Amino acid sequence: MKIHIFGTDGSQSGEMNVARAFSEKVRPDLIQRAFLAEMSETRQPYGTDPEAGFRTSAHYHGLRHYKYSMMNREMARMPRIHGRVGYMSMTARRVPQAMKGREAHPPKVEKVWYEKINRKEWNKAFMSAIAATAQKDMVVARGHRIEGIKSIPIIVDDKVQEIRKAAELRKLLLSLGLEKELERTAEVKTRAGKGKMRGRRKKVKRGPLIVVSEDKGICKAANGIRGVEAVKLADLCIRELAPGAKPGRVTVWSRSAVEALEKAK
């Protein structure tokens, strides 16, 4: 399969054969499994203080033949405080049902959040996610606006790696026919609910992904355009190719990155 190669001005500058890079069968089930495995690595362990609810002098008073026994006194046999403590005398502590007691089943830091996945299985899911970027129907189904593009997958000359300014990168994306896509990602919505108070007030759409073999300034330039991301092929993962485990993200490939894919498979 021969694909057109575009220059930094949007004009066609040649062709190349991509018989192997995008030939993998798309497996949404494997992509979802690999995506969840990757996301599990970002989870931060959390839990309660192991001593929470136990910092008290309360102890059990249910023994028989004991001066402060609660036997036959119509009192629940829970650890209680006693002594010269005033209003706190004989108040229950430590147990979950008592005020200031421990939590019944608290989250524990030692819980393992990481989900395992076989290396071969992840590799197949990775190549499947790459192949999904070359299928127009999957890109459109994901919600991307690609009415103006000339061909898919979008492959550009290696000079794209040398772009250092966001204005130059925007001009390139517009020349490739991604004007509607940039308009879609420019829209920002305010999140509903309490997430607004927890560091995620805005919802931003995922737009074009630019994959290069070498970063000569393109990654910094992409940060200046909302929804656009640039990443080196060596750092590429399924979270970027299929955000939300939905394959088919509109992707712009540099020529050297596609050539590396052809040799790597």
Q: What is the pLDDT of residues 72-131, one digit of tens each?
A: 888 888 999 988 788 888 899 999 999 999 999 999 999 999 999 999 999 999 999 999
Q: What is the mean pLDDT of residues 29-44?
A: 95
pTM (2 d.p.): 0.84
The half-sphere exposure of 143 on its side-chain side, counting CA atoms within 13 A, is 11
Residues above pLDDT 90, as percent of the chain? 73
Class of residue 4 by CB neighbours under 10 A (exposed 0-12, middle 13-18, buried 19+): middle
- The rounded distance, in Å, linking the Cα atoms of 95 and 73 is 20
d(CA 57, CA 187): 58
* 220 close to 164: Cβ distance less than 8 angstroms: yes
Kindly list the structural domains of the chain, giving each domain's residue range(s) and its CATH number in brackets, ordered by start.
Answer: 2-42+118-264 (3.40.1370.10)
Q: Could you read off the pLDDT of 237-246 as tens digits, one per residue? A: 999 999 999 9
Distance CA 26, CA 136 (A): 13
Instruction: Write out pLDDT tens, residues 136-169.
Output: 999 999 999 998 888 888 999 999 999 999 999 9
At 258, is the pLDDT very low, low, confident or very high (cuts 50, 70, 90)?
A: very high
Q: How confident is the model at residue 265 (pLDDT cuts 50, 70, 90)?
A: low
